Amino acid sequence: MSDTHIVLHDPDGLIEAELPLDRAPHEALVTAILACHDPDLPPRDYEQIALQLTGHARAVAADVRRLTAALPKSDGRGALAEVVLEEADRRLSAPLKGTACCVQNRARLVRALYTRLDRLAESVPPV
């Protein structure tokens, strides 16, 4: 193993834009979390699930931002996406807790971001 590493400078997130989201397992996780009305997991499990959903929510939000930027300024879908993104930023800035409520809130956020992403993807032509 080498003691060196390479620092990647990608301020525009172009490399990330080329990577597809690993959507299916995250949607399955969201569905399972929201279907369970009284989950009883250890706090560390909730923390790990919340971390997973937080990272994925940030990735989906980045895709929503890219598609929103491709819309004309006069397009109302962009304004709605901005509202969803502002809410996502607010919710993602809240500290994680090892609770079912925190995990369920993150799951709802991922679901809302995917809903917005799908609606934008229908309307934005591929580049």
pLDDT in tens, 97-109: 889 999 999 999 9
Instruction: Tell me the residue range of the domain where 110 lies.
Output: 40-123
Q: Is residue 65 part of a domain?
A: yes
Q: Is residue 111 part of a domain?
A: yes
Under 8 Å CB-to-CB from 88, ≥6 apart: which residues? 57, 61, 109, 112, 113
Q: How confident is the model at residue 72 (pLDDT cuts 50, 70, 90)?
A: confident
Q: Is residue 3 part of a domain?
A: no
Q: Is residue 110 part of a domain?
A: yes
The tally of domains found in the chain comes to 1
What does pTM read for this prediction? Answer: 0.80
Under 8 Å CB-to-CB from 121, ≥6 apart: which residues? 67
Q: Is residue 117 part of a domain?
A: yes
Under 8 Å CB-to-CB from 17, ≥6 apart: which residues? 62, 63, 66
Q: Is residue 15 part of a domain?
A: no
Q: Is residue 96 part of a domain?
A: yes
Q: Is residue 33 part of a domain?
A: no
Strands (E), 13-118: none
